[in-house]
Structure 1
Amino acid sequence: MKSLGSIRRSFAPWTDPSAKPYISFRNVTKKFGTFVAVDDLSLDIYHREFFALLGASGCGKSTLLRMLAGFEQPTSGEIILDGVNMAGTPPYRRPVNMMFQSYALFPHMTVEKNIAFGLKQDGLPKNEIAERVAQMLKLVKLEKFAARKPHQLSGGQRQRVALARSIAKRPKVLLLDEPLGALDKKLREETQFELMDLQQDLGLTFVVVTHDQEEAMTMADRIAVMAAGKVSQVATPAEIYEAPNSRFVADFIGDVNIFDGLASPADGGTLDIAVTEGFTIRTPIGTSDVRGASRGFAIRPEKIRVSREAPMNAGVNSAKGEMWDIAYLGDMTVYIVKLKNGQTVKASMLNAQRSVENPLGYDEDVWISFDGDAGVLLKD
């Protein structure tokens, strides 16, 4: 069975036509004065899904999350949660809880009391509160820190306290607004996997807002890439990366090389894109009505080979250039090659061995090459 990238779990209700969404945004618009933060947006999220809203600052992702939480009301459209229209429902009556980037812990309360706060507000019996708090402390591995106050904890520990407090009330949906932004890189990477495991253990629906592409790619079952209040693409991380539906998504997610040229049908159900003199891209195509059209071809750096020798059939899915720059990153080496037309191409190669014989160097004449199906044709 072929797949675009590795599959973390078989969970994929969005592929089942009979599956009902757990959360639905139906033609939702949110305006602040004349500014349109969310623009006629429709989106479905499924029960037990780890869903990421990804985009640059100002794209509308946090506004969308706040509307789901009830902190903002849509200007128009509907938000449906578990079959119920949330219109007019205040935040405290919604079956959701929100974890903020700042964590918002009470500094004068212990870890235990921070977790218990919301349960006390709901009027739960003391024995039930104690039992629930004990469960949460065990879940986030903070049993030994129950009597400490927030200032006595590390950033990662405070993050876990905030998470425990958010899920102690057993919401149907947990909303996370840039939850790992305050952590250092190494701790952030470790916590991403902890969150994934926790979400599956709890069986909750997680909706996370982030501007960090790697964070979204690591944690989410599906990602909605947003721009200017709209959703550009909704897909699994592998589909977003390997099969972006537009130039914007291809350029936004990870590193990418984009070649533009005039397209014409070739033999065997392929398409030729004339990038420049002596450089043609030949790739599979689903339609033949593209003669003379300008098309873009996006390919990731790791799909490109760099060598001193010209490949067979030189000039087709290959081009000659000059080694412009080299960056050794430990696990991989990044090469920047400047083509004759002035375009720079980024290629990355895994450093599978400790030493390399006769390594490529600056200012050398080199060839880039790739397989015709290693990239994707762009629609715009």
Structure 2
Amino acid sequence: MSKQAIGPIRRSFAPWDDPAAKPLIEYRGVTKRFGDFVAVENLDLKIYTREFFALLGPSGCGKTTLMRMLAGFENPTQGDVILDGKSVVGVPPYRRPVNMMFQSYALFPHMNVEQNIGFGLKQDGMPKADIAVRVAEMLKLVKLEPFAKRKPHQLSGGQRQRVALARSLAKRPKVLLLDEPLGALDKKLRQETQFELMDLQQELGMTFLVVTHDQEEAMTVADRIAVMDKGKIIQVATPSEIYEQPNSRYVASFIGDVNMFEGKTVPTENGITRIECGALGMAIESEGGHKPAAGEAAWFAVRPEKVRLTSDRPADDDGVNAVAGEVWDIAYLGDMSIFHVKLANGQVMTATRANISRIVDKPIGWDDKVWLSWDRNAGVVLQG
């Protein structure tokens, strides 16, 4: 598959929207208990062939347990795990068509790169000539041909990560499981490797399932994300849907930065929801998200990059949702600046500005009086 085809394929790839599509992986009513502790509770999930799927959540939310049940290291207390149309509950790990890449990489220190990659193939009894061919393919795939004879301690962190990836792929599993695969890499290398993983997954046409607590990593690599909390899946959607249309306060606050306001709805019309926020002394108008009945408690969430920051009060057309405040903190990050603005009620609101010009005529500084405003379609209404 050519790399030129990767973009169009990813844009049109959405088997979860096809009622006739059969999932490759399915969790059916799965519960996993460790004594009195419920790690996963009555969970249903479908993952499709060639999907890059991410399980995202904080430590202890159940995401790793979910992966381990697919790998065969744990069995569900209740429910079933289906892989390619067959239950794998009770099937030992070595008999499952999956392979797992661990966060620690777990490379053999006394073996060189090609020996590490070929270890699983040797254990399976593959002929030496075939092992040599497969290992050569893997070395080329992960761009480590010049390092074939080196030991793990002679490699950088990124190179060791590639060896572990090549070893996991050498047996050509139907599903590759990645447990916090980039956690040991520095930020720049982690970002580079994320795109390499995406390209590699598309080139191989395989199904990848990644466990991570890094929201940026999940948003970058995944076709879909399952956001988890306390053993349950809160929302499953594409990265853009998770970010722009969160289904709860938990998802909105877990993914990215967000400003939230609590209030009660008042009668609406023309698809516009109005939330009376007593603390702000104003009503917020919104066109997106949940449509609560009048008088119902609700929350409004708006991302910092959707908020305009101006020295002067916005014009009437721009000032439907506008509130005054005072600049409390500023963080300059090079490509953008983050402003924390303290409102009259003491609440702090965040706005970001892209630094598109090197010269600013009237820069906004600490203690300046400013206005924050946003469009009706900039945020979403969430249930209280």
Q: TM-score category by the smaller chain?
A: over 0.9
Matched, 1:352 2:356: yes
Aligned equivalent of 1:243? 245
Percent sequence identity over matched residues?
A: 68
Q: Which structure 2 residue ranges, 5 or more long, are not aligned?
A: 1-7
Matched, 1:259 2:265: no
Shift of 1:9: 2.6
Instruction: Name whichever of 31-40 and 320-329 sits farther off.
Output: 320-329
3-state DSSP class of the match of 2:235?
strand
- Work out the number of aligned pairs and report it: 375
Distance in 2 (alpha carbons) for counterparts of 1:27 and 1:20: 17
2:304 equivalent among 301, 308, 312: 301
TM-score, length of structure 1 as denominator length: 0.96
Q: Which runs of 4+ in 1 moved over 4 A?
A: 285-289
Distance in 2 (alpha carbons) for counterparts of 1:7 and 1:341: 49
Distance in 2 (alpha carbons) for counterparts of 1:234 and 1:270: 26
TM-score, length of structure 2 as denominator length: 0.95
Aligned equivalent of 1:43? 45
Instruction: Name whichever of 147-156 and 336-345 sits farther off.
Output: 336-345
* Alignment of structure 1 residues 195-206 onto 2, 5 Å: 195-206=197-208
3-state DSSP class of the match of 1:215?
helix
* Alignment of structure 1 residues 1-380 onto 2, 5 Å: 8-276=10-278, 278-284=281-287, 290-313=293-316, 316-380=320-384
Distance in 1 (alpha carbons) for counterparts of 2:290 and 2:184: 48
Shift of 1:341: 1.3
Shift of 1:197: 0.4
Shift of 1:268: 2.5
3-state DSSP class of the match of 2:11?
coil
Distance in 2 (alpha carbons) for counterparts of 1:7 and 1:332: 32
3-state DSSP class of the match of 1:357?
coil
Amino acid in the other structure paired with 2:374: F
Distance in 2 (alpha carbons) for counterparts of 1:173 and 1:247: 32
Shift of 1:279: 2.3
Q: Which structure 1 residue ranges, 5 or more long, are not aligned?
A: 1-5
Amino acid in the other structure paired with 1:320: A
Distance in 2 (alpha carbons) for counterparts of 1:217 and 1:196: 12
Shift of 1:283: 1.4
Distance in 2 (alpha carbons) for counterparts of 1:263 and 1:101: 47
Distance in 2 (alpha carbons) for counterparts of 1:105 and 1:98: 13
8 A Cα contact 1:280 1:315, kept in partner: no
Deviations 1:66-90 (A, max 9, x none): 1100001110100000001002100
Shift of 1:284: 2.1
RMSD: 1.6
Distance in 2 (alpha carbons) for counterparts of 1:253 and 1:280: 26
